Each structure stands twice: as structure tokens, then as C-alpha cells.
Structure 1
Amino acid sequence: MELYNLDIERGILSAILFDGKIYEDVAAILKPLDFYLPFHQNLFAAMEDLYKKDYPIDEIFLKDHLVKQNKFDEELFLEILGTAPIEAVEAYAREIKDLAVKRELIHLSNEIKKTVLEDDKKAIEEVEEIQGKLFSIATSNLAGDFKESEAIINDTLEYIKTQISKQNKIVTGLDTGFVELNRFTSGFGEGDLIILAARPSMGKTALALNLALNVLKQDKGVAIFSLEMPAEQLMLRMLSAAGKIPLQDLRRGNLDDNEWSKLTAVADELSEKPLFVDDEGNVNIHTIRAKLRKLKMQNPELSLAIIDYLQLISSDQRERHLAIAEISRSLKLLARELQIPIIALSQLNRSLESRPNKRPMLSDLRESGAIEQDADIIMFIYRDDVYKAMEAKQKQKEAMEKGKAVEIDFQEKEVEDAEVIIGKQRNGPTGTVEMLFHKKYTLFTDKVSEVQEIQMNEAQIEMPSI
């Protein structure tokens, strides 16, 4: 089987010479390297140059352009001029594209054989490298040359026009579902690596799942790598937050009729959403890359990936700081490759708890150097009531050990104040976003005024939508 068709190539090029307007339709499908014959590649590249300069795509200009580049072939050019123009040019262009992809696959298969036999690499590294090249072929996202200023300007102007056309002028990226967080970040950008960090029990996983639910509301896909928690436990939290059903009731199966109705409605709705969970505990960055690439190819609507959490990703690096550096850099490159934001949860150093002010800072990140360098946004979660409760329990324990009675002046609340501290943002301001944390639902919400909160409580919404 021949993986090229010179007759179709000549017919397409002849059609463009006959009517220069056809070039735009063909260029939306083909690149110069998709043609098999080198002269055909050069001729189509010359058409691209003339098109960019608003010159006519005709015999005279093309011949002059190719002669100057010393790429003109009189015999092959006359052969194209003597070929009847093809009708239904887009259909034939797709056929040429299909043949070009097959040639790429043959080339890749030869590379695979050479890599396996000659390169001294581990199998998982070779598989990951091959999958990356296959992903590039499948998405036609092959490595290109430097972008020229004109092309960058045109792309940037198109981006600005798109943002102007949006009704919500605040959100230019992926809508987080939180008004104040959107105001600070303008939404999470395509290709952003977002680090969400906190000490244990502050609500890292809860906030990440709330963000996932908010994205799912927009019918956009979410992938979650749960390295610590089984998928079923993760889903219990999501159902609790989405339906405002106490998590403890779900865990015990202790539901009244109203809660069953809410659970059924939310479960039915959530089951239709493009949510993908991988709860394999022992995964490395190569596995994550391979799985996300495959998922993105199969589900183009995938718009967010969440990894819970960064320090649980395994690595061959013995030095932990080198392992984290490799992982964070790889996640950033993967976010750019797939053009989606990736949220990676991270632990914080215990040392912050020895400070009077326990609000996290960038220096509290474990292996902070590499993470801080690669991340586009770093967010910390802080709930003061967590520390107040810990201090109260410690005082009570110490008093009991001494046989003394002690009055605890702290009372746990069902709804606590929470702070999402934006410690770094590459393209925006830093600051603190105030939220509320509903403990029994593991649910974060925007903080509202007392009047608004009363109005919300009085509103009878029996069936919350996810």
C-alpha cells in the first residue's frame, strides 16, 4: 500500500492555482509537510507566504517566489498546471492528511524499534516518550518553529476579541464557581499549574472537590487522581457537598426521606457529568502523563485535572527535593501541552504551627523552591477555628491529666470562617479570599453579608443542583 497520492496532491495545488480563495480551505486542513513530494511541500509553503503578504496566489508570483529560494522545478510545475483542478477539494485534502498521519506513524514505529534496541532507558520512560509523540500526531500538535512577531500579534488580538465578546468580563479562564476567587484570578488559565496547599484538616481535598463540582456544572470534564482516598470515599464527599447532605449521614447510611430524595436527584445528575477518577495509589509522573494524554484525546471536553496530592507521586529520584522538582516541572509542561489547568494539592511544613500567626507563607511549602518556581498560582487554606479547637482540646487534656476541671471557652461551629490566601499569582494580584466552610457538608461557599445569609437560609430550595 502506497502512503501517498501524487495525483490528488497535484489536483489540490492546481485547484488553488485556478482559484486562490480555495487556499484558506485547504490550509485549515493541511500543512506543507503533509504533502509527500518535496516540490509540492515547497509550492504549498510558497502559497502560504504569498497569502500572508496578501499577494495573488498565481503562476507568476509563485514561480518568482520559488526561483528566489532556489526551489523551483520547471517540469513539476508544468505538470501541476496541466492537471485538472479537483472539485470537493476539502474532502481530498483530508485524504492527503490521513496519508500524512499514516506516514508519521510508520516513522514513529521505526523510532520505537531504534529507541528500544539502542537507548539505555527504563521501559516506563520509553513508553511515556512514545505516548507523547503519539499524542502529538493524534492532535496534529507537532513541534514547530519559533513563532514570528506577526503571528503572535494576530493570535493575541484574536484572544482579546474573544474576551471582549464574553458577557462575564471578570472571568477569562476556567470559571472557579467562586465569585471572589474569580475576581482575584479571572478564572484558571489554560496551561496553568495551580498549587493548593494547607496543613492537615484544613480542607484541601474539600476545596478541590468543590472546584471540581463547579466545573462540572458547566458541563466541562474533570479528571481526579486520588492517590490517598478510594474513589467511593471521594464520591461520598462530592455527593455531600453537592446535595448539602451531612457527610456522616451518608457514611452511616442514616438518611431520612428528604435526604434520600436529594441524594437520588444529585446522584442522577452527577452520573451524567464528564467526571473521571483514578484512585490507583502508587503512580508516578510518567503514568499520570500517559493517562491524562489518553483521556484528553478520548474526551476533548476535559477542562481540569486535580492531583491529590503532590508528595504522594512516586519517583525514581532518591533525593526528595529532586523528585519534587521533576514532578512539578512535568506537571507544568503537561498543563501547557493539554491546554488545561492542573491543580496539585500539597502538604505544608509542620514548622508553621510553632508561629503565633499560623497563616501559611510560600516558605512553608515542602520542597518550596521547585514548586514555587513552576506554579502559576499558589493558594493556601487557613481556618483559624481549627487551631482554636486544637488548643482547647490540648488544654482539656492537660487539665484532666492533672485531675483538674477546666472550662473551655471555645465552641465548635457548624459554619466556620475560611481564608484562601493567594501567595503567588504569575498574572494577577495576591491577597486573601474570604469564604465559609460548612463542616458537615465539607462545602466551601462564598462569604456573604449577614443579611444575604439570612435570605439564603429562608429561601426554600429543596433540590440543590450540582
Structure 2
Amino acid sequence: MNLYNLDIERGILSAILFDGKVYEDVAAILTPKDFYLPFHQAVFETMEELYKKDLPIDEVFLKDELSKKNKFDEELFFEILGTAPIEAVEAYARELKDMATKRELIHLSNEIKKMVLEEDKRAIEEVEAIQSKLFSIATSNLSGDFKNSRKIMNDTLEFIKKQAAKKNKIVTGLDTGFSELNRMTSGFGEGDLIILAARPSMGKTALALNIGLNVLKQNKGVAIFSLEMPAEQLMLRMLSAAGRIPLQDIRKGNLSSEDWSKLSVIADDLAEKPLFVDDEGNINIHTIRAKLRKLKAQNPELSLAIIDYLQLIASDQRERHLAIAEISRSLKLLARELEIPIIALSQLNRALESRPNKRPMLSDLRESGAIEQDADIIMFIYRDDVYKAMEARQKQKEAMEKGKAVEVDFQEKEVEDAEIIIGKQRNGPTGTVEMLFHKKYTLFTDKVSEVNEIEMNEADINVDMPQI
């Protein structure tokens, strides 16, 4: 197996010297380190410098610049000049790139052996480091070409035809199961990064799981990375929401025979769905990427990934804003690569608690700059009753400390109004979607459909009531 070819290296460099315009074709594929011979690396690096300075890439300028850096070798330079220029330069450049990648893989294999035998690290840390380096090699080997206008137009027309063939004209992406949310977003698009953010206790996990349940009902695959709670707790919530059985009753096993029957049916149904949960608490973005790639390859029906939540993803970056920037960018690239939407839950800053109007804004996102830039959709959850309940409890506490009795006019509801605020949408409008939150079941429902259903039921009762 050949890991280098000096004749090809000299032929490519000779072709550039023969025609400087060839450099652009080669530079789109190769970097200086892709050349095996150090002098050839120095020559190509100097060609790059001349190109950036808008100077001719010829024998005179190249020799002068190499001499200034004390990297000029007359014998090797004349070998390049004496080599016939390669004609199919792009094909040979790709062959050279392939050899360079193989050299990097061999170097990595030696590094792995040294790491395992000499470094005192946990196996999982070594695996993560290896995955990161392997991904770096893989991405450096990518050399996607520009798409010309005809190619783009053909792909675009095919997309339009595909959407026109769908029966549901409103939903062009992944159906969220919520009619108003679908209307605002047209469904979640392939390759979209969706940020779902809220303050604690607003229902981030509940809404993400509800969307996941709705996707599962369409017999499409859902992957969940739960960094905060075990898989069993997530399943309890899903069973409660799917069967409208109080979560506390399920946790205690305090169920009627009717509820047991309902739970049994739902459990059997969910057990057959393509649902995959990873509840490893300490996980980094490289491991998430590797696991999702493998899962997608094994299960092509995978249509949605949920990360609960973004700030808990481990990172080697010491500065938190740099870590979040790396994570959010990686998630966006991963969504595009796998062609599925990824929902990443996110915390909000406490600053909004001091505002009279506590509805979240984009600036309330923790480390908001990178997240806001990478996300295609940013959604916030706001429930006014959560703050009213907090204020009522605070008043009671203060009154009790002063030895006074206080009457609180707020009464907690089983079903609360909820607002899903779309703060950013790259390909659609922003605005607010009204929903209802059923606390007992950790279940969000469309407000319009629920109200209509209640009105219809009341109308039915009025019709069927016998006259007195």
C-alpha cells in the first residue's frame, strides 16, 4: 500500500508553476500538510502565501520567498522544475489527499497504542479523545464542490414537487402533533436545530416528550439523550401523557383496574415503537455525534433527536461560552448530516425574574450568542400561573414569619394556559402559540382543539337533556 508518491507531488507543484490558475483547483482539495516531503510542504505553503498577496506563483517569486524563510533547496527545487506538469491535476490531488488521510490514520493508530499503554486515563476518556481526533480527520478530508445553478434549480424543483404531492399542505416538515405549532412552523425541517428554552418548572422536558410521542405515533424513530433523569423516569412521563393517567398515581402504583388496563395497552404499544433513550449523565458532543450516526445507520426511520439538556453536555473547553458555541455548532452540523431535526433543551438566565413581564426573550438564553446564531428555531415556554403560584407562596411565607394570617386569592389549576413563544424562525414567522398544560399528566395540548371539544360536548349535553 502506497502512503506517498513523490512523483505526483512534484507533478502537481510543476503544474501550478506552469499555470498559476491551477493553484485554485488544487487548494480546494489539498493543504500543505497533505504533501509527504517537507520541502514540498514548504513550496505549497509559499504558493498559498503568494496567492493571498496576489503575486505571481512562478519560479522567481517562489525561490525568493523560500530563500527568505531559509527553506530553499536548490536540488529539490530543480527536480520540481524538471518534472512534466500533470494534466488531470484534480484527480491526482484527490489521490494525494487519500494517501495523506491514510498516513493520519496510521499516526492515530500509533497514538492510540501509546495512549492506552502509557497514559493513566479512564477508558471512556480515551475513547472520547480518539473519536474527536477521528472526526477531525474525517472532516478535514471533506472537499465538497460548489453546486452550479442548474443542479440547485433541479433539486429545488424536486423539493417543490415533493411538497405538492403531500396531502397535508400545512405540514412540510416533521409533524409535531400540535396543529397551531405546525401552522406556525410548517413542521420541523430536516437538518433543523430547534432550541426549546424555559425557566425551571415550565415544562421543557414535558413538551419535548409530547412532541416525541406524537412523532412515535407516526411510526417514526425518536432518539432521546437524557442527561438529567433516568430513562425509567422519562418513560413514566410518557405513559402518563399518552394515557392521561396522573403521573403521581403511576409512580405510586396507585391505579384503578381501568387505569391498569389502559396502562397495559399503552405500554405494549410504546414497547413496539422505534424509541431509543440514552441516559448516560456525563456525555460530550463527540459521543453524542458517534452514537447518533450509528443509530441512524442501523435505524433509517430515525426522524427526531432530543437533547435534555444543552448546558449539561460535557466539554473540554474551560470557558463556558466557547463550550456552548462548540456544542451548538456541532449539533447544527449533525442535524444537517443526518437530515433530521434535533431539539435541544436549554436553560434561561435568571435575569428575566426581575422583570415585570417575565416572558422570555432571545437575550435570556444562557450563552445566547452562539445558540441564537446556530438555531433554526428558538421556542420559549411561558406559563403565567407558575409565577402567580410562586408569588402566592412567597406572600404566605412572609406573613407566617411575621405571625400574620393572609388570604391568598390564587388557586392552583389542574389545567393551565401555556404560551409557546417562537422567538426566532429562520424560514418562517415569529409569534405565540397558545396551548394548555395538564399538570397531572405532564401533557401539553392545543388550546383551540380543547376548547372546541369542550364546547361541542356541552352542546351535545344541551341537546340530549330532557325538558323538565
Normalised TM-score (structure 2): 0.72
Instruction: Provide the rounded CA distance (Å) in 2 between the counterparts of 1:248 and 1:458.
Output: 33
* Residues 86-105 of structure 1 aligned to structure 2 (within 5 Å): none
Instruction: Provide the rounded CA distance (Å) in 1 between the counterparts of 2:287 and 2:351.
Output: 32
Structure 1 position 222, deviation (Å): 0.3
Secondary structure, counterpart of 1:378 in structure 2: strand
Paired residue for 1:112? 105
* Residues 223-238 of structure 1 aligned to structure 2 (within 5 Å): 223-238=223-238
Instruction: Provide the rounded CA distance (Å) in 2 between the counterparts of 1:457 and 1:148.
Output: 60
Deviations 1:176-229 (A, max 9, x none): 000000000000000000000000000000000000000001100000000000
Residue identity opposite 2:270 in structure 1: L
The answer on 1:127 being equivalent to 2:120 is no
Paired residue for 1:390? 390
- The answer (yes or no) to whether the contact 1:193–1:335 under 8 Å persists in 2 is yes
Instruction: Provide the rounded CA distance (Å) in 1 between the counterparts of 2:404 and 2:419.
Output: 36
- The answer (yes or no) to whether the contact 1:132–1:290 under 8 Å persists in 2 is no
Whose Rg is larger?
Answer: 2
Paired residue for 2:204? 204
The answer on 1:404 being equivalent to 2:386 is no
Residue identity opposite 2:320 in structure 1: R
Paired residue for 2:280? 280
Deviations 1:103-149 (A, max 9, x none): x9999765421334479997634424536878999xxxx75321111
Paired residue for 1:189? 189
Question: Structure 1 regions of 5+ residues with no counterpart?
Answer: 2-68, 72-103, 460-466
Secondary structure, counterpart of 1:418 in structure 2: strand
Residue identity opposite 2:453 in structure 1: Q
Residue identity opposite 2:189 in structure 1: G
Instruction: Provide the rounded CA distance (Å) in 2 between the counterparts of 1:125 and 1:206.
Output: 34
Structure 1 position 330, deviation (Å): 0.4
How many residues are treated as equivalent by the alignment? 357
Structure 1 position 388, deviation (Å): 0.3
Residue identity opposite 2:158 in structure 1: E
- The answer (yes or no) to whether the contact 2:131–2:287 under 8 Å persists in 1 is no
Identity of paired residues, percent?
Answer: 78
Higher mean C-alpha deviation, range 115-124 or range 323-332:
115-124
Change over 3 Å in CA distance of 1:105–1:277 after alignment to 2: farther
Secondary structure, counterpart of 1:452 in structure 2: helix
The answer on 1:221 being equivalent to 2:221 is yes
Deviations 1:323-368 (A, max 9, x none): 0000000000000010100000000001101100000000000000
Question: Structure 2 regions of 5+ residues with no counterpart?
Answer: 2-85, 89-96, 116-125, 461-468
Instruction: Provide the rounded CA distance (Å) in 2 between the counterparts of 1:248 and 1:323.
Output: 37
Normalised TM-score (structure 1): 0.72
Change over 3 Å in CA distance of 1:457–1:303 after alignment to 2: farther
Instruction: Provide the rounded CA distance (Å) in 2 between the counterparts of 1:262 and 1:125.
Output: 47
Instruction: Provide the rounded CA distance (Å) in 2 between the counterparts of 1:457 and 1:300.
Output: 45
Residue identity opposite 1:220 in structure 2: K
Structure 1 position 450, deviation (Å): 3.6
Higher mean C-alpha deviation, range 442-451 or range 160-169:
442-451
Paired residue for 1:375? 375
Change over 3 Å in CA distance of 1:314–1:346 after alignment to 2: same
Residue identity opposite 2:246 in structure 1: P
Instruction: Provide the rounded CA distance (Å) in 1 between the counterparts of 2:290 and 2:256.
Output: 43
Instruction: Provide the rounded CA distance (Å) in 2 between the counterparts of 1:136 and 1:443.
Output: 44
* Residues 326-341 of structure 1 aligned to structure 2 (within 5 Å): 326-341=326-341
Residue identity opposite 1:251 in structure 2: R
Change over 3 Å in CA distance of 1:70–1:451 after alignment to 2: closer
* Residues 305-316 of structure 1 aligned to structure 2 (within 5 Å): 305-316=305-316
Instruction: Provide the rounded CA distance (Å) in 2 between the counterparts of 1:441 and 1:105.
Output: 55
Higher mean C-alpha deviation, range 165-174 or range 106-115:
106-115
* Residues 410-421 of structure 1 aligned to structure 2 (within 5 Å): 410-421=410-421
Give the RMSD, CA atoms, in angstroms: 2.8
Change over 3 Å in CA distance of 1:319–1:133 after alignment to 2: closer
- The answer (yes or no) to whether the contact 2:197–2:378 under 8 Å persists in 1 is yes
Structure 1 position 452, deviation (Å): 2.4
- The answer (yes or no) to whether the contact 1:116–1:126 under 8 Å persists in 2 is no
Residue identity opposite 2:408 in structure 1: I
Residue identity opposite 1:202 in structure 2: M
Paired residue for 1:292? 292
Instruction: Provide the rounded CA distance (Å) in 1 between the counterparts of 2:100 and 2:221.
Output: 33
Instruction: Provide the rounded CA distance (Å) in 1 between the counterparts of 2:147 and 2:314.
Output: 36
